Amino acid sequence: MAKTLKYIFLICAGLSILLGLFFRPEHPHFWWEKIPAFDAIFGFLGCILIVVGSKALGHHWLQKDEDYYSD
Amino acid sequence: MIDTQPPAFIFIAGAILLPLLRERRLRRVFQLLIPVIAFIDLLYMPEGTYWIYNFLGYELILGRVDKLSMCFGYVFVIMAFLGMVYALHIRDTGQHVAAFLYMGSTLGVTFAGDIFTLFVFWEIMAISSVFLIWYQRDIAALDAGFRYIMVHIFGGCSLLAGIIIYVSNTGSTHFGFIEYGGLASQFILVGFIINAAVPPFHAWLSDAYPEATVTGSVFLTAFTTKSAVYVLLRTFPGLELLVWLGAIMAIYGVVYAVLENDIRRLLAYHIISQVGYMVCGVGLGTEMAMNGTTAHAFCHILYKALLFMGVAAVIQVTGRRKLTELQGRNLYKKMPVTLSLYMIGAFSISAVPLFNGFVSKTMVVAAAGELHRPIIHLLLHLASIGTFLHTGLKLPYGTWFGRVPEGEKVEEIEASEPPLNMLIAMGMAAFLCIFTGIYPKILYNILPYSVHYHPYTTFNVVAMMQLLLLTAGAFWLYIDKLGGEATISVDTDWFYRKPGMLFLWFVGHPLQNLRSGLQHLLSRTVASVASLSKNPILLPEIATRYIHLRIINRLYHIFGLAEDKVEELKELESRYAAIRKITYDKDVYRRPIGFGVLLAIVLLFLYGLIYFFTLR
């Protein structure tokens, strides 16, 4: 099950990147929209940034014990 | 032609009549009938301004009907129906009454044509909604509800202050575009953005919504924030401040969602994030951005309700609300239908093509692109990643699948699909999410401006798929780190919760001690004055004896006391005590009448003397 999912995922991701090489925006507003597979890169790095950045913020500052407000 | 009524009154009449119906089946029919009547009412309401009443020289306008108010009106009434189906099994009539009042007042806000009407409905909205939290009937809900209502009362006061200044400055009560600048607009803006949950005024939302009743939270997600978006669209389109607040808000919610363990609170942070898109769209202010904002509010209400319905169903059947208590319990085997319907909502909020978020969210982002706002564009893009990461991946994975951390024991939990009416409500919401996603024209036709945007270009679809699939890829890498952690995250509610507790401590301890000390001192003074006043004539003697005794006592204390003097001192003390016991008796102390006359003459003389000298 997990393995099939993995293959489906990899095929879809590969396909979307491949298609992205052929279909370009008609009127790009920003320079990065001209980079092939920009959204894929942005999605991957952005996700890592969100996870790592938020976890760092949480562990060093924001996260408290569950009874923080009750005592 | 059907004679239409203000939709707000239909719901409020429903709220009044509902408790009168004793038969349960009849009551259920009635609950569903009200939104249906309101919807038909909306269909027949012509565009224009009507239902105008004079009140103290001001015009109260209950019907300002144009495309913008109609669009919000439609989705609010649809949501009312969905929410009522979802809550149909609740026997507590009070909850339904609160929900009807809440929805009615939201519709009142939507069709208000002047700011007084707006304000009245605005306040009813705050007060009725808090009962959806309090009906949860536990301490956490009670406390959160009080914090919720305090914040909203603060917001309401700010709005009222702004309205009063505005009306006295301009003389107009028209509810429409307000030029930003000056106190009036700032107060009004603060009142509005508190309801829109714009940071730093957002903490009431993530604090209170997760504490509401299972069905109440579904209603709450739809109305307060979206009606705030509506009033912002009316009053502050194109305000640059809102662009930045909105973009920051979109990211802000995402960051907190990473840290959140409570599943409803996680979704609550995503309301903040999604409303960020809308606030940003209001700030951008172009026709496309305003259309995008309206469309996104419409879609958001549907998919957010669906998401809340899904997790609320889990909470209802398992009694658990934390990822740490749900992960690894394989709930997907027991609630596959709930999971599937939830995933439709999750795909919608993540803007997967063919789901409704795709046709609305991309419009707001594209509006930022058209205006060449690179930072805003990227921030909104980044928030999309976070949205999919949490509502589409982390939450469903942790709730229905998930792995238990090593060393922790897993107990089997009782679970099954929720009651049929809940599933039907979710099914209808899911249908609407997909329907508007596949056939966006029906939504685009009711937007305030004509739409020249096509979401389904090949590039758009491919780019979105890349973004989402690679987000999923990164999620895969961090899958074990993203499990729930049994913590809570401090947010801006810290600024009133912790100082609030400090204030209570200050009142309870130092201030209370000061009060009781002062009271003690005062009552002792009064008591001694009272005992002395028993015999004022003996006062000089008591005073001299008292001072005498004190001095002797003091001296003996310093120099020591000879044996034979002890008796003498005791004698003195007993005599002093005896004198103090003597009360005034007019027969003992009576003076001859001449004494009084003499006193009068002496005083008269002194008075004359003073008069004589001051005259010179």
Kindly write down the DSSP assignment for every residue of B173-232, as one continuous string.
-B-S---S-SHHHHHHHHHHHHHTT-TTS-HHHHHHGGGS-TTHHHHHHHHHHHHHHHHH
Residues of A in contact with B351 (CB under 8 A): none
The residue type found at B264 is R
What are the tens digits of pLDDT across the range B52-96? 999 888 889 999 999 999 999 999 999 999 999 999 999 899 999
Smallest CA-to-CA distance from B276 within B393, B361, B371, B189 is with: B361
- Judge contact between B288 and B363, C-beta under 8 A: yes
Task: In chain B, count H helices and then E strands.
Answer: 26, 3
Q: Concatenated DSSP letters for A53-67?
A: HHHHHIIIIIEE-TT
Top residue of A7, A21, A69 to mutate, by most chain B CBs within 10 Å, is A69
| B-contacting residues in A 34-63 (Cβ below 8 Å) | 37-51, 53-55, 57-58, 62-63
Contact between chains at A69 and B488 (C-beta distance less than 8 A) = yes
**Residue labelled with tokens 């309870």:** B508
Contact between chains at A50 and B464 (C-beta distance less than 8 A) = no
Which pLDDT band holds residue A70 (cuts at 50, 70, 90)? confident
**Most distant pair of Cα atoms in chain B: their distance:** 121
Residue A39 has its nearest CB partner, among B389, B463, B486, at B463
The residue type found at B356 is N
Contact between chains at A50 and B469 (C-beta distance less than 8 A) = no
Residues of B in contact with A41 (CB under 8 A): 470
- Judge contact between B308 and B297, C-beta under 8 A: no
Which two three-digit tokens encode residue B541? 């003697």
What are the tens digits of pLDDT across the range B295-330? 999 999 999 999 999 999 999 999 999 988 888 888
Contact between chains at B381 and A42 (C-beta distance less than 8 A) = yes
Distance CA B444, CA B451 (A): 6
Residue A54 has its nearest CB partner, among B258, B457, B472, at B258
Q: Is A30 on the interface with B (CB under 8 A)?
A: yes
What is the least distance, in Å, from the CA of B478 to any CA of chain A?
8
The residue type found at B37 is I
Low-confidence ranges of chain B (pLDDT < 50): none
**Residue B58 — φ and ψ, nearest 5°?**
-110, 155
Residues of B in contact with A12 (CB under 8 A): 465, 469
Task: In chain A, count H helices and then E strands.
Answer: 2, 1
Top residue of A15, A27, A34, A39 to mutate, by most chain B CBs within 10 Å, is A39
**Three-class SS of residue B523?**
helix
What are the tens digits of pLDDT across the range B403-416? 887 777 777 788 88
- Judge contact between B163 and B186, C-beta under 8 A: no
Residues of A in contact with B473 (CB under 8 A): 9, 13, 43-44, 47
C-alpha to C-alpha distances, B297 to B79, B163, B190, B230, B565, nearest whole angstrom = 12, 26, 20, 9, 96
What is the least distance, in Å, from the CA of A58 to any CA of chain B?
6
Residues of B in contact with A60 (CB under 8 A): none
Which chain A residue is nearest to residue B380, measuring alpha carbons? A46
Q: How many Å from the N-terminal Cα to the C-terminal Cα in chain B? A: 97
Q: How many C-beta atoms lie closer than 10 Å to residue B337's C-beta? A: 13
Distance CA B329, CA B400 (A): 7
Please list, in sequence order, all residues whose beta carbon lies within 8 angstroms of the beta carbon of residue B117, skipping any fewer than 6 positions away: B60, B61, B62, B108, B175
Q: Concatenated DSSP letters for B2-37?
A: -----HHHHHHHHHHHGGG---HHHHHHHHHHHHHH
- Judge contact between B436 and B343, C-beta under 8 A: no
Distance CA B69, CA B448 (A): 9
Task: Kindly report whether the global pTM for this prediction surpasses the value 0.90.
Answer: no
**Residue B388 — φ and ψ, nearest 5°?**
-65, -40
- Judge contact between B176 and B113, C-beta under 8 A: no
**Residue B373 — φ and ψ, nearest 5°?**
-110, 85
Please list, in sequence order, all residues whose beta carbon lies within 8 angstroms of the beta carbon of residue B104, skipping any fewer than 6 positions away: B7, B8, B9, B10, B11, B12, B14, B15, B124
**Three-class SS of residue B124?**
helix
Smallest CA-to-CA distance from B208 within B272, B260, B140 is with: B140
**Residue labelled with tokens 């003097």:** B565
Which chain B residue is nearest to residue A54, measuring alpha carbons? B255
C-alpha to C-alpha distances, B389 to A50, B270, B350, B489, nearest whole angstrom = 9, 11, 9, 19
Which two three-digit tokens encode residue A44? 């991957």
Residues present in chain A in total: 71
Contact between chains at B377 and A29 (C-beta distance less than 8 A) = yes
Contact between chains at A16 and B386 (C-beta distance less than 8 A) = no
Position B566 scores a pLDDT of: 80
Residue B473 has its nearest CB partner, among A38, A44, A64, at A44
- Judge contact between B549 and B573, C-beta under 8 A: yes
Whole-number mean pLDDT of chain A?
86
Position B1 scores a pLDDT of: 52
Please list, in sequence order, all residues whose beta carbon lies within 8 angstroms of the beta carbon of residue A24, skipping any fewer than 6 positions away: A34, B459
Residue B488 has its nearest CB partner, among A23, A47, A68, at A68
Contact between chains at B469 and A53 (C-beta distance less than 8 A) = no
Angle (CA) B241-B247-B248 rounded to 5° is 90
Top residue of B254, B462, B485 to mutate, by most chain A CBs within 10 Å, is B462
Q: Concatenated DSSP letters for B49-87?
A: EEEEEEETTEEEEEEEESHHHHHHHHHHHHHHHHHHHHT
**Three-class SS of residue B170?**
helix
Contact between chains at B258 and A17 (C-beta distance less than 8 A) = no
Residue B487 has its nearest CB partner, among A20, A43, A66, at A66
Contact between chains at A50 and B490 (C-beta distance less than 8 A) = no
Tell me the CB-side half-sphere exposure of residue B244, using CA atoms within 13 A: 3
Q: Concatenated DSSP letters for B362-404?
A: HHHHHHHHHTT-HHHHHHHHHHHHHHIIIIIIIHHHHHHS--P
Residues of A in contact with B256 (CB under 8 A): 54, 62
Distance CA B292, CA B149 (A): 31
Q: Is A14 on the interface with B (CB under 8 A)?
A: no
Q: Is A7 on the interface with B (CB under 8 A)?
A: no
What is the least distance, in Å, from the CA of B490 to any CA of chain A?
5
Residue A20 has its nearest CB partner, among B255, B389, B466, at B466
- Judge contact between B201 and B39, C-beta under 8 A: no
Contact between chains at B466 and A68 (C-beta distance less than 8 A) = no
Which chain B residue is nearest to residue A60, measuring alpha carbons? B489
| A-contacting residues in B 250-289 (Cβ below 8 Å) | 254-256, 258-259
Contact between chains at A69 and B465 (C-beta distance less than 8 A) = no
Instruction: Determine which helix (DSSP H) or strand (DSSP E) holds A1, and give its type and residue range.
Output: none
**Residue labelled with tokens 């409704």:** B356
Tell me the CB-side half-sphere exposure of residue B557, using CA atoms within 13 A: 6
**Three-class SS of residue B262?**
strand
Identify any residues that bridge with B61 across adjacent strands, giving them in sequence order: B52
Contact between chains at A39 and B466 (C-beta distance less than 8 A) = yes
Which pLDDT band holds residue A43 (cuts at 50, 70, 90)? very high
The radius of gyration of chain B from alpha carbons, rounded to an integer in Å, stands at 36
Write down the domain spans for chain B.
1-236, 237-487, 493-533, 535-584, 586-616
Position B616 scores a pLDDT of: 67
Which chain B residue is nearest to residue A63, measuring alpha carbons? B489
Which chain B residue is nearest to residue A32, measuring alpha carbons? B374
Contact between chains at B488 and A13 (C-beta distance less than 8 A) = no
Residues of B in contact with A43 (CB under 8 A): 385, 466-471, 473-474
| A-contacting residues in B 444-463 (Cβ below 8 Å) | 457-459, 462-463
Residues of B in contact with A50 (CB under 8 A): 254-255, 258, 382, 385-386, 389
